[in-house]
């Protein structure tokens, strides 16, 4: 009632976001996952002896993106769920929403806060990975100058763009978890369902592939619909060729970014709609 009596305010949204951000960075989980990811990226050099298949720089890039995606996904799901439910469980949401605050401000404030936390995580991980690649590439250039006759192989600008795209993917994942949280009754349920959603979003293309040739029309339609409901997270898998000198197509990166931003807006909007129908 009070929410409709005041106009939507970005400053209130920013306040909720900054509070969410501070709460998140104070959490042990964030620090633990960040340390793990950073430690893993930093230790990539020590795993070089276990590298058989690819070039060394490719291996470091793969390793870095592996740590980013793995721990980033875990951080996104757990932080989003935890920060949302901490407000519900501590009854602070009741106090907050009793004031003239839009539920949209609350939901998007939470989202922006989590998104900022994940941004910090991505920036640190990618930054460290780039520094490591730069350092190792420099060493390799001294050892084998012929292999680097035309300069550095790794495209650091592309690495940065792929990092940003991963951040946007985590944004989509965060909005999915928020949507789940708005109708879920517990933190645990939200986290588990969030992980399932992550797996489905990563593997939905396989379902589309394997069922596209099925004769049963009903099944085919069902899989097509499921493919439409869940975003395709493999689309963000652009870091594969980095470390081998391949360039990232800016148009492709732009398309993927638009895909993520639209999904964040739509799923975020749905989370607001769902939260408005929820009794706290």
Q: Which residue, 32 or 183, has its beta carbon nearer to other proteins?
A: 183
Token pair 């901490």 is at which residue? 86
Residues 124 and 3: their CA atoms lie apart, in Å, by: 38
Least Å from the CB of residue 209 to other proteins: 5
Say whether 6 sits in a helix, a strand or coil.
coil
Residues 122 and 27: their CA atoms lie apart, in Å, by: 17
Q: Which residue, 127 or 269, has its beta carbon nearer to other proteins?
A: 269
Token pair 């964040």 is at which residue? 264
Least Å from the CB of residue 4 to other proteins: 19
Q: Which residue, 63 or 106, has its beta carbon nearer to other proteins?
A: 63
Q: Which residue, 21 or 106, has its beta carbon nearer to other proteins?
A: 106
Sites of contact with other proteins (CB under 8 A): 47, 50-54, 58-59, 62-63, 65-66, 68-70, 73, 179, 183, 198-199, 202-203, 205-206, 209-210, 225, 227-232, 234-235, 237-241, 246, 249, 252, 255-256, 258-259, 262-263, 266-267, 269-270, 273-274, 277
CA angle in degrees (0–180, nearest 5) for 41-47-49:
155
Least Å from the CB of residue 43 to other proteins: 11
Q: Which residue, 21 or 121, has its beta carbon nearer to other proteins?
A: 121
The candidate with the shortest Cα–Cα distance to 230, out of 205, 195, 258, is 205
Residues 276 and 61: their CA atoms lie apart, in Å, by: 43
CA torsion angle for 110, 198, 258, 133 (degrees, to 10)?
100
Least Å from the CB of residue 72 to other proteins: 9
Q: Which residue, 17 or 165, has its beta carbon nearer to other proteins?
A: 165
Least Å from the CB of residue 274 to other proteins: 5
Q: Is 250 exposed, middle or buried (0-12, 13-18, 19+ CB in 10 A)?
A: exposed
Least Å from the CB of residue 52 to other proteins: 5
Q: Which residue, 85 or 263, has its beta carbon nearer to other proteins?
A: 263
Helices (H), the chain: 2-5, 10-26, 28-42, 56-89, 92-98, 103-143, 156-183, 187-211, 217-229, 250-276
Token pair 């085919």 is at which residue? 220
Q: Half-sphere exposure (CA, 13 Å, Cβ side) for 275?
A: 26
Least Å from the CB of residue 203 to other proteins: 8
């Amino acid at each position: 009632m009070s929410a409709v009596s005041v106009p939507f305010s970005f400053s209130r949204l920013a306040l909720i976001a900054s509070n969410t951000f501070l709460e998140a960075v104070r959490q042990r989980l964030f620090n633990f996952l960040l340390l793990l990811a950073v430690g893993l990226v930093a230790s990539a050099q020590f795993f070089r002896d276990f590298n058989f298949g690819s070039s060394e720089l490719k291996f470091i890039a793969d390793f870095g993106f592996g740590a980013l995606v793995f721990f980033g996904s875990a951080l996104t799901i757990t932080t989003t769920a935890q920060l949302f439910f901490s407000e519900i469980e501590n009854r602070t949401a009741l106090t907050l929403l009793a004031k003239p605050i839009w539920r949209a401000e609350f939901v998007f404030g939470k989202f922006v806060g989590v998104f900022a936390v994940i941004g910090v995580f991505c920036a640190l991980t990618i930054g460290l990975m780039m520094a490591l690649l730069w350092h190792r590439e420099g060493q390799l250039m001294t050892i084998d100058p012929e292999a680097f006759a035309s300069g550095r192989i790794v495209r650091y600008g592309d690495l940065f763009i792929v990092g940003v795209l991963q951040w946007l993917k985590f944004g989509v994942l965060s909005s999915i978890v928020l949507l789940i949280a708005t109708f879920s009754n517990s933190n645990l349920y939200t986290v588990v369902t969030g992980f399932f959603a992550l797996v489905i979003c990563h593997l939905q293309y396989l379902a589309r592939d394997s069922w596209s040739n099925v004769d049963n029309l009903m099944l085919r339609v069902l899989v097509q619909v499921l493919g439409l409901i869940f975003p395709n997270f493999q689309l963000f898998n652009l870091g594969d060729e980095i470390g081998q000198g391949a360039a990232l197509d800016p148009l492709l990166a732009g398309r993927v970014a638009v895909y993520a931003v639209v999904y964040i807006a739509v799923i975020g909007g749905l989370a607001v709609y769902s939260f408005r129908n929820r009794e706290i």
